[in-house]
Structure 1
C-alpha cells in the first residue's frame, strides 16, 4: 500500500482530484492530506471528488504547517470539513504526534473516532514508554513512522501489531532549480519493492516534492520538471528536465519549452510513461503550451501517483 503525504495546497489537491477521477483501480493508494489553508473550499471539493470516486484517504486533524502554525487560527478541522460528515468508513482520521498523547486522546474520544492513524514525521522514540502506551491504544490502527531505517525501532513497532507504514523524504531538494541539471538523473526509491519483505503494511513519501513545507515562491531563474519513472524492477529514479538559459528571470514560457522538449526523447527510449507525462509532451509541442508553474507541479505529482499506483496494481 502506498500512502503519499501531500499538503492541502491548490495544485496538490488538483493532482488528487485528477488521480481520483482518472484511475479506475486505486485500492493500493491512500493519500495522507495535511491541511495548510484556513479556507477549506478547495479541500472540501477534493474530498467530495475522492469520496465519489472511491479513493480512500487519511486526513490530518491537527495540522502544523501553513496557516496552522499560528496559535490563534481556527483549528477545528472536523467542523470545517463538511464533506466528511457521515462518511466515517471512507476516510482515516490522522494525527501528528509531538509529545501530545493526552491532547490527541481527548480529541479522539470527544469525536468518537476509530481506526486512527498516528504520524511520527521524525521517527518514533521506542524508549519513550508514554509514546508506546499511546500507540498500544485500541483506537490506534496505523502508525506512520519517519526515518524508518533503524531496524530495532521497526521491530519494536511491529510488535505492537498495528499497521506500520514507513515515511521517508525521497526527494533530493536543492536550493536552485538550475542545480538539478547535474546530475539530472537520480535514484529515488525502492520502497515499493521491499516494504512487504520488511514486514510493513505500506510506505509513504512526499511524492516528487521536498519534505519541508514552502509557503510560496518567487519567479525562478530556471524551470525544472521532476518526473519519477521505473528504471528497473526494484528501482524508481527521478529525472530532472531543466531549462538551458537560466541567467535571469525572464522568458519563463521559453524556459518551459526548453525543459519540456527533453521529455519525449527521454521516454522514447522504451520507458513506460503515464497520462501526466503524455500531457507534458503534448504541451511541449504547442506554441503556447506553457501551463504555469503550479500546473507543472500538479503534473509532476500526478505522474508519481500514477506511476506507483500502476506498479502496485500490476
Structure 2
C-alpha cells in the first residue's frame, strides 16, 4: 500500500518533508513526489536527506509543467539541477530518489536521457504522469519500460493504454482539495467540513498499485501571496467510518494586515477545542503538525503563513502514514 503525495517543492513543503523525515515520522508507505518550481538549496538538501535515509523514497519530476524550470533552461542544465552531475545521479546510498516524468513535450527526450544513464532507474522505480490532456502522447511511451503510470480514474485513459499495448502498474491520482475564491468562503456552512477522499479504501480492488493526491494545497499552482483577509487552517481527519474529511477553521474577516497574527490565534483556538472534543476517539491521531499548531494556541505565538501551511501538510502526511502502516480500521 503506497500513498504518493504530490508537492511543488516550495520552501514550506520541503521543510515539511525534512522535519517529518528527520523526526522519523515519514512512514515508508508515504512516498512524496516533488515537482520543483525553482532551483534552491533546500531542494538539494531534501534530496540528499532522502538518499541517506535508510528505506526512504522520493520522486522528483525531471520535466516540470510549472515554475521557473519550465522554459529558458536547456535540458542538460535542468538535469544537472536534479543531480545528474553527481557520481550516483538520483540513486540513493540508503534511500532512493527516483525519476518522475510528466507526459509533456519534453517527456520522450527526458526518458531517453534517464534510460541511457541507467535503464533500471525507470524500470524499477520510475513513474510517468498521464492526464486526460496527454492522451495524444500515450503512444510515445511504448518504447520505454517504467515502474508505474499515475493517472486519473478515466475509462478513456485505460482504453488508450490498452490500445497502445502499455501494460504496467497504475497509480490512482486525484485532486480532492476544493479551492474556494478566498479563505472566508471556507467558513460557509456547506464548506466548513467536507469529504476529502476514500481512494485508499478501494484502489486495490480496481487494480491500482497505489494512490496519490495534492495534499491540502491542491493542483492549482500559483505564486500569489499577500496578507489574506481571513486566516484558514485546513485539517484532514478520519470520521467514524474511516473516511477522510477536511475541516476548515476560519478566522473573522478584516482588511487590516496587522491583525493576521490575532486571526491565526483565533483559528488555532478553534482547532484546539475541536481536537479536545475528539481526542478520546480511535479515529483521532495526534500528529507533530497538529501538536505544534495547538502549542501556538497555548503560547499565543504566530509562526507566519508559510509555517502554517507546512504544519498542515505535515499533519496530513503523518496521519496518512499512521493509517496505512497501522491500519487501525482493521
TM over 0.5: yes
Q: What number of residue pairs does the alignment pair up?
A: 306
1:134-283 map, 5 Å: 134-145=140-151, 147-148=152-153, 150-151=154-155, 153-154=157-158, 157=161, 160-182=166-188, 183-270=191-278, 271-283=284-296
1:103-142 map, 5 Å: 103-113=109-119, 114-115=121-122, 116-122=126-132, 125=135, 128=136, 131-132=138-139, 134-142=140-148
Alpha-carbon deviation of 1:226?
0.6
Question: Counterparts of 1:88 and 1:74 in 2: how far apart (Å)?
Answer: 19
1:25-174 map, 5 Å: 26-39=27-40, 41-54=41-54, 55-72=56-73, 76-82=77-83, 85-86=87-88, 88=91, 90-113=96-119, 114-115=121-122, 116-122=126-132, 125=135, 128=136, 131-132=138-139, 134-145=140-151, 147-148=152-153, 150-151=154-155, 153-154=157-158, 157=161, 160-174=166-180
Aligned-partner SS, 1:164: strand
Q: 1:135 to 1:69 in 2, by over 3 A?
A: closer
* Preserved contact between residue 32 and residue 57 of structure 2 (Cα < 8 Å): yes
* Preserved contact between residue 96 and residue 121 of structure 1 (Cα < 8 Å): no
Deviations 1:12-63 (A, max 9, x none): 0001111212236622111111111133x11011112222223201111111
Alpha-carbon deviation of 1:220?
0.8
Contiguous gaps of at least 5 residues in structure 1 = none
Alpha-carbon deviation of 1:139?
2.6
Alpha-carbon deviation of 1:269?
2.3
1:290 aligns with 2:302: yes
Question: Counterparts of 1:24 and 1:220 in 2: how far apart (Å)?
Answer: 31
Using the size of structure 1 for normalisation, the TM-score is 0.89
* Preserved contact between residue 99 and residue 131 of structure 1 (Cα < 8 Å): no
* Preserved contact between residue 232 and residue 267 of structure 2 (Cα < 8 Å): yes
Question: Counterparts of 1:124 and 1:62 in 2: how far apart (Å)?
Answer: 14
* Preserved contact between residue 6 and residue 212 of structure 2 (Cα < 8 Å): yes
Using the size of structure 2 for normalisation, the TM-score is 0.85
RMSD across aligned C-alpha pairs, in angstroms? Answer: 2.4
